[in-house]
């Protein structure tokens, strides 16, 4: 089994990485599996910088190649916010039902509802330059929250390709078009091309 360390404590990200990587024969190990709850300071200015900070931290700490994901929702009418602050927006531990409700309230009557999810995946290998792969999913903020799947802002994110909100999509539907799905596929191509995919 080929192991990939994902430097995240977000269980939903882990689930999505597993959905995409396990069928290809990879074993996904996360900080949760290592009982590591250290909070890595994300003080970068971009998704790519923050992903690199997290991946390099993990690679250095565990002396293995490590992957990290930094992602978020950018809303046009909010000038791209919450963006890299998506996890902390309205409070880190605030339930997403509340965060999503606040966003819908703030956009009431707003016709400019464009938005996009961004994902930067960084791959840090000890002794080598860090590589970053970025994916974007363009859509809009729905008029109402719908769906039980996914996580975070998925219930209020409308995906035009499917004509429904992200949380109404099956995991396969979401992963096929999502910011994370696109970045994971770019990462995998690089990973295989550079022969990292050997047994570890």
Show the binding pattern over residues 90-129: x = contacts ligand ITT (CB under 6 A), - = does not. ---------------------------x------------
**Residue 116, strand partner residues:** 74, 138
Residue 93 known to be catalytic: no
DSSP letters for 55-73: HHHHHHHHTS-EEEEEEEE
Residue 10 makes contact with ligand ITT by CB under 6 A: yes
Q: How far apart are the C-alpha atoms of 62 and 126, rounded to whole Å?
A: 10
Q: How far apart are the C-alpha atoms of 168 and 133, rounded to whole Å?
A: 27
Whether the upstream peptide bond of residue 17 has omega within 30° of 0, thus cis, is: no
Minimum distance from CB of 148 to ligand ITT (Å)?
Answer: 13
Pick the binder of ligand ITT from 71, 100, 140, 165 (CB under 6 A): 71
Show the binding pattern over residues 131-170: x = contacts ligand ITT (CB under 6 A), - = does not. -------------------xxxxx----------------
Residue 182 makes contact with ligand ITT by CB under 6 A: no
Q: How far apart are the C-alpha atoms of 127 and 46, rounded to whole Å?
A: 23
Minimum distance from CB of 157 to ligand ITT (Å)?
Answer: 7
Residue 13 makes contact with ligand ITT by CB under 6 A: yes
Return the closest-CA partner of residue 160 out of 149, 151, 150, 169. 169
Minimum distance from CB of 143 to ligand ITT (Å)?
Answer: 18
DSSP letters for 138-155: EEEE-SS---SSS-TTGG
For binding to ligand ITT (CB under 6 A), which residues are involved? 8-10, 13, 42, 69-73, 86-87, 117, 150-154, 178, 180
């Amino acid at each position: 089994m080929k192991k990939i360390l994902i430097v995240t404590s977000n269980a939903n990200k882990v689930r999505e990485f597993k959905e995409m990587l396990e069928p290809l024969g990879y074993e996904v190990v996360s900080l949760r599996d290592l009982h590591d709850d250290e909070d890595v300071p994300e003080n970068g200015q971009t998704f790519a910088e923050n992903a690199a900070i997290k991946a390099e931290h993990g690679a250095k700490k565990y002396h293995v190649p490590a992957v990290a994901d930094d992602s978020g929702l950018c809303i046009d009418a909010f000038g791209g916010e919450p963006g890299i602050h998506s996890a902390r927006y309205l409070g880190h531990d605030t339930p997403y039902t509340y965060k999503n409700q606040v966003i819908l309230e703030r956009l009431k009557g707003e016709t400019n509802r464009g938005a996009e999810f961004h994902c930067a995946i960084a791959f840090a290998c000890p002794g080598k330059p860090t590589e970053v792969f970025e994916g974007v999913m363009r859509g809009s903020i729905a008029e109402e929250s719908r769906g039980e799947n996914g996580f975070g802002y998925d219930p209020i994110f409308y995906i035009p390709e499917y004509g429904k909100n992200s949380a109404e999509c099956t995991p396969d539907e979401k992963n096929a078009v999502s910011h994370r799905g696109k970045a994971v596929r770019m990462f995998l191509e690089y990973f295989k091309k550079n022969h990292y995919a050997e047994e570890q």
